[in-house]
Amino acid sequence: MKEIKMQNAKCKMQNLKLRDSILYSLLIAHCSLLIFWGCAERVTRLLPEISAPKVSYEEGSLWPKEESKLLLFKDTKANKVGDIVTVLIAESSQASKASETKTSRASDNTLGFKAGTGIPTDFQVKGGNKFEGIGTTSRAGKLTATVTAVVVEVLPNGNLKIDGVKDIRVNDETQYMTISGIVRPEDISRNNSVFSTDIADAKILYEGEGSLDDE
């Protein structure tokens, strides 16, 4: 009986070790998959978490208290955290530089010899050099797009801090566009849009990845 009990105990121990080994292998495989997935995935900039202000409603009313009486005359332009605004990007840049250099140098020397040496008494040596160089460089760029941004902060002076991200994927091509900056409420048009040229501290990033960008 003792031998049978000992054999049963050994079998249980072996089964427990086998189960622990299988669980450990599965855990390692799962962690490896997560690491591989994290390395393969492109990291894109995400918008910060936004907590919109709470809106209170009157009992029996469909509209908030502060808007129930002014709904027909309400300004639909972005003015608080969580509101959205359309940014019309129309940026162009052009730069040129030209330089011109001119240098010249001339020398004139006269040598004299005594009579009877068989060499002319007057011997003149002239020399000179001249250099002219002209260089011109120029660059031009243009970007036109539309991005919808979110108001992430209202500054003490009433200006709005915005942040927007836009990803476009077509077949194997991916285009990323981000924009951030500070907007004055009066620069936002009646249709709730603002030009990128009216954004202070504007940061516009446009990049892509795919077969065309790899060439």
| Residue 8 scores a pLDDT above 70 | no
| Residue 11 scores a pLDDT above 50 | yes
pLDDT over 70 percentage in the chain = 52
| Residue 212 scores a pLDDT above 80 | no
d(CA 141, CA 205): 14
Lowest average pLDDT, out of 130-134, 178-182, 194-198, 209-213, goes to: 209-213
Name the residue with higher pLDDT: 56 or 202.
202
Q: State pLDDT tens for residues 144-191.
A: 889 999 999 999 999 999 999 988 888 878 888 899 999 999 999 999
Name the residue with higher pLDDT: 123 or 38.
123
| pLDDT, mean of residues 78-86 | 91
Residue 88 pairs in a beta bridge with 146, 195
With H, G, I as helix, E, B as strand and everything else as coil, classify residue 29.
Answer: helix
Q: CA gyration radius for the chain?
A: 39
With H, G, I as helix, E, B as strand and everything else as coil, classify residue 47.
Answer: coil
Helices (H), 41-74: none
pLDDT over 90 percentage in the chain = 25
Considering the chain, what is the average pLDDT of its residues?
Answer: 73
Q: CA angle 188-193-195, nearest 5°?
A: 80
Name the residue with higher pLDDT: 126 or 97.
97
Q: State pLDDT tens for residues 33-68.
A: 554 444 444 445 555 565 555 655 556 665 555 554
Residue 177 pairs in a beta bridge with 166, 206
Answer positive or negative: Cα dihedral of 56, 59, 64, 69: negative
Question: In this structure, what token pair is assigned to residue 59?
Answer: 């009992």
The segment with the largest mean pLDDT, out of 10-14, 95-99, 118-122, is 95-99
| Residue 124 scores a pLDDT above 60 | yes
d(CA 212, CA 200): 33
For residue 26, the Cα-to-chain-centroid distance in whole angstroms is 39
Contact 102, 131 (CB under 8 A): yes
pTM above 0.75, yes or no: no
Question: Residue with structure tokens 């129930």?
Answer: 68
d(CA 85, CA 154): 14
pLDDT at 47: 54
| Residue 28 scores a pLDDT above 60 | yes
